[in-house]
Amino acid sequence: MKNQIITWMAILFTVPLIGQDSIRYTEGFQFNRGIYTSLQDFKSNNPVKPSDIITDIDSSSPKFFQYLLAQENFRFPRNNEIVYMSPKEIFGYSDGSQVYYGAQYRFEVIGRICLLREVDVVDSYSSFINPGDKYEAAREEGSGKLYILDFDTGAFFRCKPRKVEEIFQRDKALYREYENAGGKRKEKVLDFIKEYNFRRPVYFPKGK
């Protein structure tokens, strides 16, 4: 009995401490700058820092990620070993102001339902030695199309009403409101993504 009491006291004192480490996401939230190797890295706001990546590229450069992700692969230490990754394998990255999924999808809305837009991306550089602001690089043109990332499952897909409505159905009350709301379906979906995220907020550890 005594051991059970000690165990419950430990739980009661531990849970609040965990909550204090994370805050509700708002648009002003600061994500740590670096490479997310997985969805969990993103959720825990724990990317691989630029300074930890083994490369000759200046980690303080505003174009660091453009140069890094144009390479075939890069490497960094983790758990006493060197990990090699290609840009196609990463979950995404944060440059300190914007957050990206992979190398070509920028987060427009972050929440339980994340809304992303396909953007241009630099896909090749002939040199990484002092390229300068006017350095010309091959670019892969983005379509500007919208995509969805399901924060809970990690599913990623084109933003189509039918697919988003499947997520809305997790909140029965909201889904009823959605069905009864007027307006064009595509516009209505975007409005209710914001409402869904408001009712089901996500939390991230504070940036460092």
Domain range annotation of the chain: 28-157, 160-202
182, 191 contact by CB (below 8 A): no
Could you give the angle at the alpha carbon of 113 between the alpha carbons of 207 and 49, nearest 5°?
30
pLDDT in tens, 142-160: 568 999 999 999 999 999 9
For 140: left if phi > 0, alpha if psi spans -120 to 50, otherwise beta; the answer is beta
At 26 the pLDDT is 94
pLDDT in tens, 94-114: 998 899 999 889 999 999 999
User: How high is the mean pLDDT of the chain?
Assistant: 84
119, 102 contact by CB (below 8 A): no
Q: Pick from 204, 208, 170, 206: which is nearest to 193 by CA?
A: 170
Mean pLDDT across 178-185 = 93
CA distance 1 to 166: 47
